[in-house]
Amino acid sequence: MSLSLPRINPTETSAWKQLIHHAQTLGDQRIQDLFKADPGRAERMSAEGAGWFLDYSKNLLDQHAFDDLLKLLDECGWEQALNATRKGGLINETENRAVLHTVLRDPGNTLQLVDGSQPGVQVSEVLNRMENFVEAVRNGQRRGCTGQAFTDVINLGIGGSDLGPLMACEALAPYAGSLRVHFVSNVDGAHWQRTLLGLNPETTLFLVASKTFTTQETMANAHSARNWFRQSLGERAEVRNHFVALSTNLEKVVEFGIDPENMFPFWDWVGGRYSLWSAIGMSLALSIGFPRFREFLEGGRQMDQHFWETPPARNLPVLLALVGLWNRNFLGMETLAVLPYDQCLSRFPAYLQQADMESNGKSVDRNGKPLNYQSGPVLWGEPGTNGQHAFYQLLHQGTVRVPCDFILAANTHYPGGPHHRFLSANAFAQAQALMQGRTLEEVRAVSSTPTNPAEAYQVFEGNRPSNFLLCQRLTPAALGALVALYEHKIWVQGVVWNVFSYDQWGVELGKILAGKVLPLLDEGTEGAGLGVDTSTQALVERWRRWQDGQERPKGT
């Protein structure tokens, strides 16, 4: 079987045409009516794997449409794509790279690439080095240049080098040790300087997370960190004791002043937004300890196994992907709200924004042709119950329908009082309310007055879809499985949409133009010869006048 991805326009499949018909047929029905017609719907439209239970029954989807979604997956070359991925095919074709982040959580993998390298062996070597380093820092054997144990760790990265480890450290805070872990990503000096407040350079360890060691934001922050460290400690400052590189560019790492022994590499078959499982996860390992970090990896591996070995009709990532395709391409829903009812998962929606929108936010297919159908949705969300008092008004009564993914753990790490019962009741109730709605008759039935001038505003349309993901407790393994679940879901959708999910050329143009704009910030530089438009030139000129106080804003 081919080790390349198929190149099939999904709209040309017979299943796609059938699904359009199903969407028209179901358009006038209600989800509640589907439950009435099928008493076993809740059980039939649920699945379980790697510690997670998925209920997708609250979607406007019947068995006929579901069967054709499975057919669509087959017609779009699902088996060929799966085989190419697992066997190390160069499926990231625009960058000529394999995609093997799953090996990061399965170091026993025996795959051998065409160049003779064995990713599993490479991963094992780095994991063992990470383990030795992490345990030495956590037990006080590894100390700063003045002999004091480390108390704080600052991760300097951006994108996948920040969003993943930050999310995971927040999610697994109940397992954190005494090391305080901080994250600086924004090139805005406020982020850096506010993080430094109260920190002691003698007990602070820096992780510089950049594959190329040239990322503008990360390296600007890294140089500021080094300057602060040196200025604070003077002759006592030894960069090699306090700085660690998570990178592949040995030359740049050494040039910066970091000891090569303190460099932990990863590989070009690891995309940034999938790198949490690699050395980029060093901050997480330092926070929760290496045994727990291995549990996190194992959770991801278990979800991989479920994904690869479970038939599509019972396969959690496939089911989430197909339901998402149905809502996006056939019911016309443009966004997806991810709603974790767990404060520890507060950064999970932000993490998924990159994972999903950077992967499938594409408008050109694998044949280089413009898409004639919709691809990835806009993904957003906040933890419950905070979101209920912010944007749920739109979810329930807005003019757009927003599919929702609810995420909940049956048990909390923070027992005491009724809090978790309140939280859980709200999660279940919100999913029910989105589906069920409330009719005018139901409003009148509970009204305390014969005439209610507000009754029209108390009606809820309902019929709004949602999925519900439930685990027993948010452990390292459960979080690993959850992250891997969404990774695979995103990939399945990319297969059907016929896009390259593992490149991200859309982030490059802004970086290139920033390099042209930067010289304009100096007085006297004109932008015409640099390809800068007149609007940008005028904005920069006003910025310069306001920065040096030549001019005051009007009205001040």
Q: Among all residues, which ones are annotated catalytic?
A: 358, 389, 511
Which phi-psi region, left, alpha or beta, contains residue 554 (left: φ > 0; alpha: ψ -120 to 50)? Answer: beta
Instruction: Name the DSSP class of 372.
Output: S
Structure tokens at 266: 């990863």
CA dihedral (537, 540, 546, 552) in degrees, to 10, reads 30
CA 312 to chain centre: 23
Q: What angle do CA 396, 397, 403 make, to 5 degrees?
A: 45
* CA separation for the pair 105, 97 (Å, rounded): 19
* CA separation for the pair 37, 272 (Å, rounded): 46
Pair 8, 75: CB distance under 8 Å:
yes
Residues in contact with 236: Cβ distance below 8 Å, sequence separation at least 6, in sequence order: 145, 146
* CA separation for the pair 479, 296 (Å, rounded): 7
Q: Is cis: bond before 439, omega within 30 of 0?
A: no
- Quickly list H helices, 326-397: 348-353, 359-360, 392-397
Q: CB atoms < 10 A from the CB of 23, how many? A: 17
* CA separation for the pair 542, 125 (Å, rounded): 54
What's the alpha-carbon Rg for the chain, to the nearest Å?
A: 26
What is 306-375 written as a DSSP string? HHHHS-GGG-HHHHHHHHHHIIIIIS---EEEEEES-GGGTTHHHHHHIIIIIHH--SB-TTS-B-SS--
Place of tokens 């625009």: 94
Instruction: Name the DSSP class of 278.
Output: T
Sign of CA pseudo-dihedral 284, 288, 291, 296: negative
* CA separation for the pair 129, 261 (Å, rounded): 9
Pair 220, 190: CB distance under 8 Å:
no
Helices (H) and strands (E) counted in the chain, each on its own, are: 22, 11
Alpha-carbon distance values, 534 to 511, 521, 527, 543 (Å): 19, 15, 8, 14
Residues in contact with 122: Cβ distance below 8 Å, sequence separation at least 6, in sequence order: 267
* CA separation for the pair 434, 392 (Å, rounded): 10
Q: Are strands 152-156 and 204-209 parallel, antiparallel or unpaired?
A: parallel
Pair 101, 297: CB distance under 8 Å:
no
* CA separation for the pair 244, 232 (Å, rounded): 19
